[in-house]
Structures are given as C-alpha cells and as structure tokens.
C-alpha cells in the first residue's frame, strides 16, 4: 500500500517512518524545503532514540521518501495522513489553519478515492471541517470524487515514540457513518499490530477525536492530583512518594503518572488540556476537573520558584542558581512548556544569575531563555552556585558526585524538584535538601 504523511514534525515523521518499517510505501511531505533536503540526507530534525536508524533503513529499502511535492504524493497514496501542527490560538483554542490548508490542497489534487486521516490532535468536529474543505475544492473543480475521512489519534510519548508506535496499548480508528471501506483500509494498514493482538477501538470520528483529549486530560489530572497532595504533605510532614505508592498499588488506580514534580510540560498536556477546556466551554460545558488540573499545574511551577527562594533564605538578588535539566522531561531536547523555562524566568526576575546544563536541550534553551549561562557539564553549572536545582530527571543527574559538588558550590543546597535523591543521604553529604511533598 502507498500512503502519504503530510507534515514531518514529531508525529508525522515517527508515523511515516514506522509505517515504512511495517513494509508500507510512505511518502512524507513538508513544505519546508530545508527540512526535506536534510531528511533526504538522513538528518533527523528531532531527538528521538532509534528514529534515525529506522529512517535510514527504509530510505535504503525504498519504502520511505521525502518530498515537497504534495501533488505526486497525494496522487500515489490510498491513505493520506494529516500530521501538521495544531498550535494554540490566542484565545486558548486550537489554530486549525494548517489542517484546513492541507485539506484544501488535498481537495485540489485528488483524482480518485482516498482515505484522509487526521493524526494531529484536533478538537472534536475537525474531521467534519476536513471533509467540508475537501468538498468545497472538489465542487470548485466540478469534480465528483468519493473520499473517506477518518480519525486515528496518536498516543506517542516523546523519547519512547518508536516503542509506542510499534507496541501501542491500543489503536483508535474513528470513521464516518458505517464507512466499512475506510475501516477495512485502516485495519489493513495496521495489520502487523492486529496480528500482534493489539486492541483496536473502532468508533465514530467524533469519539476518536475526543478519546485523545480524554486520555491526555486524565493523565494530566493524575499529575495535578499528586502535585496538589504534595502541598498538603509538606505542611503535615507527609511523604508524597509513599502516598503515591499506596495509591498506585491499588490496581484500579495504577502507579504511573503519580510522580510529584514541577508540573507537566511538553507539546501535549498543556495544550490539550487548554484546548479541551476551551472547546467544551464553547459547547456550553465547563470541564471543571480539567480546569482545576490546569490551575494546579500553573501553581505548582510557581511553588518551585518559592522553594528556591526559601532555600536561599529569601535573598535571591545576585545569587547564582545552577539549573540541571531544561527539557520538559528526559530523553528529549524539547523545551516546549518546559517548567524549567518558567522557573528560570521567575528567578531571573528576582535578580538571580542562572547557570544551566542539559544533556540535549542546550541549543533550544539558549534561545528561549536569554541571559542564562550555558555550561558544558553539570559540574561547570555547579561551580560558584548558591543552590543546585534539579528540574528534569535525566539519568546523569541521579548519581552526582556530591562531595565534588559541595566543593564547587558556594553553598551546598539542593532543590530536587523530581525527588530523585534520598533526603537523608544528601543531608549526610552536608547539603541542605529540599524535595517535593516530603
Ligand atoms: C504525552 C502522552 O503521554 C502521550 O500519550 C501523548 O500522545 C502526548 O503527550 P509526552 O508529552 O511526550 O507524552 O510526555 P509524558 O511522558 O507523558 O510526560 C508529560 C509531562 O508530564 C512531562 O512534563 C513529565 O515530566 C510530566 N509528568 C509525567 C509528571 O510530572 N509526573 C508523572 O508522574 C508523569
């Protein structure tokens, strides 16, 4: 089967590469010529473990190609995935400009039956919009061509995206009213997973679109729930990690996504929770729990700034803060909505000097957080620092040489925003230790 994936961002590139690994012939399309030229040379624009090998192997095997020519890719494909960006709009909603323009492009190009699939996370009802845009273009051409629209949301985690695609917990396929043909084609495309007994949820397009928001909002809610409890733990001398363990051992709750920290970031949770709250409000419903999740997350970031301020006894002006970890989570160079950025800005506003280190996100953070000193490693960041803050739990921060750190720092203070250290052990090394919720 031939498919086209339009948009070679995170989702598009991983989707295209992984389908080609299944043996499907994939053309990835993007209007960014520089990016496409880079991809043709084997340069992967994102940091995703394992992706470069899959791309190289399938380009060599002539199952994967890259182009800026959407016409040819659309013509050849039976299934066209829309995987373009859906940024937040100024009013808190979702900007569907790119989805709409790609849909129109498809409407201008198709000559035969196609299944058009939204892969980007889009508000409920977007598939209807996709259909309307394509139909308008077909009408303008005076053409009568049958096409199907489907929704197949992605549940990929950055840093683990290949595994998530190849061994998903489930695949969701939403089709329009009893569209058996589109469903059969989508199932054929995912056949390798079908044979692996991956659960498939076959439903209508609106349900499929909403299911992505439901899953992400629920995971974000788990995080905000435990973060809110961490506040209570701090005031009563409780231990949030023990509480998370007690909760998590109940199989109805599950232990994942109950790690207290500086709040969730990244390209999905902040945007998807905002977007869900926004489109629900437009439909006349208040998603009270989702709204609270967003609020708690914002508060949690500010609490992290307060922790650093109080570790410095309230005197931040002229102090040096070592920030370890800038990406929103480990194993990615992505700094979108990263808690580190807001924490840095808050400390800079109080007059702190920031010395930062991250194993992957230095280049991006240099631009996003002007005025910070980018250091070549952890120990350079700690040199002359009044306090160490661990903002992202990269593995290399888990086993620091604390004796060396103490010698390099002006004052041995650690604010461990990911609870990766044992408080007693750190205190035994002469540090003033501050964790989250314990
Ligand atoms: C998420 C979803 O997991 C994925 O299914 C969806 O398709 C896209 O959004 P991702 O943004 O890559 O993936 O990261 P994830 O690993 O889910 O973490 C999101 C954020 O939550 C990170 O900032 C992380 O640090 C934070 N988090 C996660 C916590 O603070 N505590 C936790 O217990 C888990």
CA distances from 294 to 92, 304, 327, 349, 405 (A): 12, 16, 20, 23, 36
Helices (H), 97-169: 97-109, 126-141, 161-166
The domains found in the chain, sorted by start residue, are 2-198 (3.40.50.720), 295-434 (3.40.50.720)
Mean of all residue pLDDT scores within the chain:
96
6 CA distance to ligand 1 centroid (A)?
25
187 CA distance to ligand 1 centroid (A)?
28
Q: Which of 160, 157, 164, 357 is nearest to 267 (CA)?
A: 157
Residues with CB under 6 A from ligand 1: 154-158, 216, 219, 223, 257-259, 261, 264-266, 268-269, 328-329
Strands of 25-29's sheet in order across: 64-67, 25-29, 2-6, 79-82, 114-118, 147-151, 171-175, 200-204
- Please identify, by atom number, the ligand 1 atom nearest to the C-alpha of residue 418: 30
Mean pLDDT (whole number) for 405-422: 98
pLDDT of 195 above 90? no
Q: Which residues pair with 217 in a beta bridge?
A: none
How does pLDDT run across 99-158, given as a tens digit for each residue?
999 999 999 999 999 999 999 889 999 999 999 999 999 999 999 999 999 999 999 999
* Residue to mutate, 49, 211, 223, ligand 1, most ligand atoms under 8 Å from C-beta: 223
How does pLDDT run across 304-333, given as a tens digit for each residue?
999 999 999 999 999 999 999 999 999 899
pLDDT of 385 above 90? yes
Supply 206's token pair.
């609106």
pLDDT of 92 above 90? no
- Per the annotation, the verdict on 28 as an active-site residue is no
How does pLDDT run across 146-190, given as a tens digit for each residue?
999 999 999 999 999 999 999 999 999 999 998 999 999 999 999
Strands of 432-434's sheet in order across: 373-374, 353-357, 320-324, 387-390, 413-416, 432-434
216 CA distance to ligand 1 centroid (A)?
9
How does pLDDT run across 211-269, given as a tens digit for each residue?
999 999 999 999 999 999 999 999 999 999 999 999 999 999 999 999 999 999 999 99
Predicted confidence band at 349 (pLDDT cuts at 50, 70, 90)? very high
Q: Which residues pair with 29 in a beta bridge?
A: 6, 67
């Amino acid at each position: 089967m031939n498919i086209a994936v339009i948009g070679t961002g995170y989702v598009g590139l991983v989707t295209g590469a992984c389908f080609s690994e299944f043996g499907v012939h994939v053309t990835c399309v993007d209007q960014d010529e520089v990016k496409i030229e880079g991809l043709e040379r084997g340069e992967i624009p994102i940091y995703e473990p394992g992706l470069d090998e899959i791309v190289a192997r399938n380009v060599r095997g002539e199952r994967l190609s890259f182009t800026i020519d959407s016409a040819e890719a659309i013509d050849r494909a039976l299934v066209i995935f829309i995987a373009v960006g859906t940024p937040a709009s100024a009013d808190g909603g979702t900007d569907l400009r790119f989805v709409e323009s790609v849909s129109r492009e498809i409407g201008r190009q198709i000559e035969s039956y196609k299944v058009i699939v939204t892969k980007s996370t889009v508000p409920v009802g977007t598939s209807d919009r996709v259909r309307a845009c394509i139909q308008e273009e077909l009408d303008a051409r005076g053409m009568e061509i049958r096409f199907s629209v489907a929704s197949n949301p992605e549940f990929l985690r950055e840093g683990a995206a290949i595994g998530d695609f190849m061994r998903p917990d489930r695949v969701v396929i939403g089709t329009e009213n009893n569209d058996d043909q589109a469903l059969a084609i989508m199932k054929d495309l995912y056949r390798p997973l079908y044979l692996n007994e991956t659960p498939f949820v076959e439903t209508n397009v609106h349900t499929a679109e909403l299911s992505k928001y439901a899953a992400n909002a629920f995971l974000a809610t788990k995080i905000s729930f435990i973060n809110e409890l961490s506040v209570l733990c701090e005031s009563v001398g409780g231990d949030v990690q023990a509480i998370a363990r007690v909760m998590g051992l109940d199989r109805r709750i599950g232990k994942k996504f109950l790690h207290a920290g500086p709040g969730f970031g990244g390209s999905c949770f902040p945007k998807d929770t905002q977007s869900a709250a926004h489109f629900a409000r437009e439909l006349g419903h208040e998603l009270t729990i989702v709204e609270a999740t967003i609020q708690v997350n914002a508060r949690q970031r500010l609490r992290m700034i307060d922790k650093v301020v109080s570790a410095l006894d309230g005197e931040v002006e002229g102090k040096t803060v070592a920030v370890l970890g800038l990406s929103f989570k480990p194993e990615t160079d992505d700094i979108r909505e990263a808690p580190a950025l807001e924490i840095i800005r808050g400390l800079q506003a109080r007059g702190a000097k920031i010395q930062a280190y991250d194993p992957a996100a230095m280049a991006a953070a240099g631009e996003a957080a002007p005025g910070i000193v980018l250091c070549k490693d952890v120990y350079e960041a700690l040199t002359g620092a009044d306090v160490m803050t661990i903002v992202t739990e990269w593995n290399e921060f888990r086993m620091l040489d604390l004796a060396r750190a103490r010698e390099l720092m002006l004052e041995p203070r650690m604010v461990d925003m990911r609870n990766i250290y044992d408080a007693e052990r750190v205190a035994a090394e002469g540090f003033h230790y501050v964790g989250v919720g314990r």
